[in-house]
Amino acid sequence: MKHFACNISKNVLNQIEMKKILFLTSLVLIKMTTSNAQSSNAKNETYNYATVPTRFVEANGIKFAYRSYGKEGDIPVIYFNHLTANLDNCDPRIMDAIAAHRQIISFDYRGVGATTGIQGESIADMAKDGIAFIHALGYKQVDVVAFSMGGFITQEILLSEPQLVRKAILAGTGPRGGAGIPDVVGSTYGDIFKGLLTFRDPKFYLFFNQNKVGKAAARDFLSRLKERKENRDEKVKLYVLKKQLKAIKSWGNEKPMDLSAFKLPVFIANGDADRMVPSTLSEDMAKRFPNAQLKIYPNSGHGGIFQYHEDFISNAIDFLTK
């Protein structure tokens, strides 16, 4: 009888333990489901360039600051920015429009903004960093949108690792050894001084014509750059300007690159009165790339794509999504 009672007790205990296990298992499953839903919501959260968080990735001993958002796919769009540009110098209208169709990623060069290290000594150095950054994100091929100095860097990437870039948009830029590129140094310092005297951002003078249309476009562009209110990037230090200008001058005096070797589709854009990188160099590149199309915007300067951002967006998205 005792043995029978003992067996009953054991059965009851086993049932109780089984119920506990089932209860705890259900709690774990519920937690996992909730966690996955939260992760999914976080991943699918809609950002614009004013709100997208800044992330970091390490490559070549450098911690690169970057912002990534948009419609994810196998091949992202990497944005290479201009002289002394940090992450807050990307035009949000252009970035957001591209993000509606493609994943777009902007980043700070070595020693710029929140990216660690010392600014590269040459355009080729910056290209090596760009390649390392792309590989650190796990990509084997990308599309590129590059403005001004970013276009110089992109051409060096093509020379070092041509298969990395599938398509390239080169705006407000020119070829290595192009006539007038070394003069960027003088015009930049001149307009920086003018900006100091007038309490204006030097891009007001560097990027836009100084007529009624150009000044209005400049004010609109500079206002857009201030739309991000929180978690803005770190300011660019003066030594970065000096090193980048030195690198640009050296690159402009180097032997021209054979652009005919690159068969990728290239879209080239500029204003018709670019004082920083002469508009004629955009026309020169369009002739030398075997698979290039050219767009020159009227009554505009170096920042033609910002002045005519709606037109440029249409051109760029059409080019990138075909």
Inside any domain, residue 61: yes
Inside any domain, residue 50: no
C-beta of residue 79 within 8 angstroms of C-beta of residue 90: yes
217-257 pLDDT, tens digit per residue, is 999 999 999 999 999 999 999 899 999 999 999 999 999 99
Same structural domain for residues 135 and 155? yes
Inside any domain, residue 9: yes
121-137 pLDDT, tens digit per residue, is 899 999 999 999 999 99
145-176 burial, b at 16+ Cβ within 10 Å, e below that, comes to bbbbbbbbbbbbbbbeeeebbebbbbbbbbbb
Same structural domain for residues 15 and 72? no
Rounded to 5 degrees, what are φ and ψ at 58?
-100, 140
Pick the residue with more confidence: 79 or 39?
A: 79
What CATH number has the domain bearing residue 306?
A: 3.40.50.1820
Same structural domain for residues 301 and 184? yes
275-318 pLDDT, tens digit per residue, is 999 999 999 999 999 999 999 999 999 999 999 999 999 999 99
Measured distance CA(153)–CA(155) in Å, rounded = 5
Domain edge (last residue) among 10, 26, 45:
45
pLDDT at 140 over 50: yes
Same structural domain for residues 31 and 175? no
Handedness of CA 197, 83, 172, 222 (dihedral sign): negative
- Count of C-beta atoms within a 10 Å radius of residue 33: 10
Same structural domain for residues 194 and 299? yes
Residue numbers of the domain that contains 266? 55-321
pLDDT at 13 over 70: no
Length of the chain: 322
For residue 151, how many C-alpha atoms fall within 13 Å in the half-sphere facing its CB?
Answer: 24
pLDDT band at 39 (very low <50, low <70, confident <90, very high): very low
Inside any domain, residue 78: yes
Inside any domain, residue 271: yes
Q: 204, exposed or middle or buried, with CB in 10 Å at 0-12, 13-18, 19+? A: buried
Same structural domain for residues 128 and 146? yes
Same structural domain for residues 67 and 216? yes
pLDDT at 94 over 70: yes
Look at the chain and report how many structural domains it folds into: 2
Inside any domain, residue 129: yes
Rounded to 5 degrees, what are φ and ψ at 145?
-115, 120
Same structural domain for residues 185 and 236? yes
Pick the residue with more confidence: 53 or 41?
A: 53
Q: Could you give the percent of the chain with pLDDT greater than 90?
A: 78
Same structural domain for residues 158 and 243? yes
148-204 pLDDT, tens digit per residue, is 999 999 999 999 999 999 999 999 999 999 999 998 888 888 888 888 889 899 999
Same structural domain for residues 60 and 157? yes
Same structural domain for residues 255 and 299? yes
Rounded to 5 degrees, what are φ and ψ at 112?
-110, 140
Same structural domain for residues 154 and 300? yes
pLDDT at 104 over 60: yes
